[in-house]
Structure 1
Amino acid sequence: RLDDALPDPAEPLPARWSGGLLERLAHHAARTPDAVAADDGTNRWTYRRLASGAAAGADLLTRHGVGAEDVVAVLAHRHAALPAAVLAVLRTGAAFLLLDPDHPAEVLRRRAEAAGCRIVLVPGDITGATTLLPDRRTVLTLPAGPVDEPAARPADAPAEQPDAVAYLAFTSGSTGRPRAVAGTQRALTHFLDWHTRHHGLGPRDRVAALSGPSHDPFLRDLFTPLWCGGTLLLTDPATVRDPDRLARWLGEREVSVIHLTPSLGRLLAAAGPDLPLPALRRAFFGGEALTTTDCRDLARRAPGVRCTAFYGATETPQAMGVQDVGPGEGAHRTVPLGRGIPGVQLLVLTADGRRAGVGELGEIAVRTPYLSLGYPHDPELTAARFTPGPGGDRVYLTGDLGRHRPDGSVEYAGRADRQLKIRGHRVEPREIEAHLAAHGGVVHAHVAAAGPDSVHAHVVPARGVPSTEGELAHWCRRALPDHLVPAGFTFHDRLPLTANG
Structure 2
Amino acid sequence: GAAWLPLDPELPAARLAFLIEDADARVTLTQAQWLSRLPIGHDAWTLDALPNAEAGEPINVEANDLAYVLYTSGSTGQPKGVMNQHGALMNRLHWMQDAFPIGPNDRVLQKTPYNFDVSVWEFFWPLITGATLVVARPDGHRDPAYLSQLIQQEQVTTLHFVPSMLRAFVEEPSLVNCHSLRQVFASGEALPMDLVRRFMGQHPAALVNLYGPTEAAIDVSVWRCSADDVIVPIGKPIANLRLYILDEAMQPLPIGSIGELYIGGVGVARGYLKRPDLTEERFLASPFVAGDRLYRTGDRCRFLADGNIEYLGRLDHQVKLRGQRIELGEIDAALLAQAGVRDAATGPASGEFLVR
TM-score for both structures, normalised by structure 2:
0.89
The 5-angstrom pairing of residues 281-292 of structure 1 reads 281-292=182-193
Q: Aligned residue for 1:255? A: 156
Correspondence for 2:23 among 105, 115, 135: 115
* Structure 2 counterpart of 1:347, one-letter code: Y
1:344 maps onto 2:244 in alignment: no
1:317 maps onto 2:317 in alignment: no
Correspondence for 2:177 among 276, 280, 285: 276
Per the alignment, in what secondary structure is the counterpart of residue 20 of structure 2? helix
What is the CA-CA distance between 1:185 and the residue it aligns to?
A: 0.7
* Structure 2 counterpart of 1:470, one-letter code: V
Q: In structure 1, how many angstroms separate the alpha carbons of the residues matched to 2:275 and 2:345? A: 31
1:355 maps onto 2:262 in alignment: no
Q: In structure 2, how many angstroms separate the alpha carbons of the residues matched to 1:262 and 1:412? A: 15
Q: In structure 2, how many angstroms separate the alpha carbons of the residues matched to 1:135 and 1:429? A: 31
Q: In structure 1, how many angstroms separate the alpha carbons of the residues matched to 2:5 and 2:355? A: 26
What is the CA-CA distance between 1:299 and the residue it aligns to?
A: 3.5
Deviations 1:243-281 (A, max 9, x none): 212211122111111122111111111113476211111
Per the alignment, in what secondary structure is the counterpart of residue 268 of structure 1? helix
Are the aligned partners of 1:286 and 1:310 in contact in 2 as well (CA < 8 Å)?
yes
* Structure 2 counterpart of 1:310, one-letter code: L
Change (3 A) 1:413 1:158: same
1:400 maps onto 2:299 in alignment: yes
Deviations 1:320-369 (A, max 9, x none): 1011113xx237x4310111012112210011111110011100011113
The 5-angstrom pairing of residues 418-457 of structure 1 reads 418-432=317-331, 435-436=332-333
Q: Aligned residue for 1:295? A: 196
Q: In structure 2, how many angstroms separate the alpha carbons of the residues matched to 1:211 and 1:142? A: 21
Correspondence for 2:232 among 319, 323, 335: 335
Q: In structure 2, how many angstroms separate the alpha carbons of the residues matched to 1:439 and 1:330? A: 44
Are the aligned partners of 1:129 and 1:139 in contact in 2 as well (CA < 8 Å)?
no
Deviations 1:18-39 (A, max 9, x none): xxxxxxxxxxxxxxxxxxxxxx
Q: Aligned residue for 2:269? A: 372
Q: In structure 2, how many angstroms separate the alpha carbons of the residues matched to 1:416 and 1:98? A: 29
1:470 maps onto 2:348 in alignment: no
Per the alignment, in what secondary structure is the counterpart of residue 247 of structure 1? helix
* Structure 2 counterpart of 1:307, one-letter code: L
Per the alignment, in what secondary structure is the counterpart of residue 341 of structure 2? helix
Per the alignment, in what secondary structure is the counterpart of residue 250 of structure 1? helix
Deviations 1:365-418 (A, max 9, x none): 111133110001111111111112331531110000111101111101111111
Q: Aligned residue for 2:38? A: 133
What is the CA-CA distance between 1:438 and the residue it aligns to?
A: 12
Change (3 A) 1:108 1:302: farther
Q: In structure 1, how many angstroms separate the alpha carbons of the residues matched to 2:137 and 2:19? A: 23
Deviations 1:28-75 (A, max 9, x none): xxxxxxxxxxxxxxxxxxxxxxxxxxxxxxxxxxxxxxxxxxxxxxxx
Structure 1 or 2, whichever has the larger Rg, is: 1
Change (3 A) 1:253 1:299: farther
Change (3 A) 1:476 1:98: farther
What is the CA-CA distance between 1:473 and the residue it aligns to?
A: 6.7
Q: In structure 2, how many angstroms separate the alpha carbons of the residues matched to 1:406 and 1:375? A: 35
Change (3 A) 1:169 1:475: farther
Change (3 A) 1:469 1:130: closer
Runs of 4+ in 1 over 4 A off after TM superposition: 436-440, 472-477
Are the aligned partners of 1:290 and 1:334 in contact in 2 as well (CA < 8 Å)?
no
Name structure 1 gaps, 5 residues minimum: 1-92, 441-467, 478-483, 488-501
RMSD (Å), alpha carbons: 2.9
What is the CA-CA distance between 1:486 and the residue it aligns to?
A: 3.6
Count of residues in Structure 1 that have an aligned counterpart in Structure 2 = 347
Q: Aligned residue for 1:67? A: none
Are the aligned partners of 2:336 and 2:344 in contact in 1 as well (CA < 8 Å)?
no
Are the aligned partners of 1:210 and 1:260 in contact in 2 as well (CA < 8 Å)?
no
Q: In structure 1, how many angstroms separate the alpha carbons of the residues matched to 2:327 and 2:45? A: 33
Q: In structure 1, how many angstroms separate the alpha carbons of the residues matched to 2:195 and 2:306? A: 23
Q: In structure 1, how many angstroms separate the alpha carbons of the residues matched to 2:334 and 2:33? A: 31
Are the aligned partners of 1:220 and 1:259 in contact in 2 as well (CA < 8 Å)?
no
Q: Aligned residue for 2:279? A: 382
Change (3 A) 1:206 1:144: farther
Q: In structure 2, how many angstroms separate the alpha carbons of the residues matched to 1:294 and 1:182? A: 33
Q: In structure 2, how many angstroms separate the alpha carbons of the residues matched to 1:417 and 1:274? A: 37
What is the CA-CA distance between 1:293 and the residue it aligns to?
A: 2.8
Q: Aligned residue for 1:447? A: none
* Structure 1 counterpart of 2:228, one-letter code: G
* Structure 1 counterpart of 2:132, one-letter code: T
Correspondence for 2:167 among 256, 260, 266: 266
1:230 maps onto 2:131 in alignment: yes
Change (3 A) 1:281 1:165: same
How high is the sequence identity, in percent, across the aligned residues?
32
Q: In structure 2, how many angstroms separate the alpha carbons of the residues matched to 1:369 and 1:486? A: 33
